[in-house]
Amino acid sequence: MHRLSEWFIKNPVAANLLMGLILVAGLFTMTSMRIEGFPPLPPSSVSIETVYPGASAAQVDRGISQRIEIALEGMPGIKKITAASYEG
* pLDDT one-digit tens code per residue, 59-73: 888 888 888 888 888
The confidence score (pLDDT) of residue 88 equals 64
Per the domain annotation, does 14 fall within a domain?
yes
Judge whether 19 lies within some domain. yes
The pLDDT value recorded for residue 67 is 87
Cα separation, 35 vs 31, whole angstroms: 10
Looking at residue 42, its pLDDT comes to 67
In a domain, 59, yes or no: yes
What is the pTM for the complete model shown?
Answer: 0.46
| 38 located within any domain | no
Structural domain boundaries, residue 81: 45-87
Q: Is residue 40 part of a domain?
A: no
In a domain, 81, yes or no: yes
Number of domains in the chain: 2
Q: Which residues of the chain have pLDDT under 50?
A: none
Q: What is the pLDDT of residue 76?
A: 82
Burial (0-12, 13-18, 19+ Cβ within 10 Å), 28: exposed
**Res 80: pLDDT:** 84
Indicate if 83 and 54 belong to the same structural domain: yes
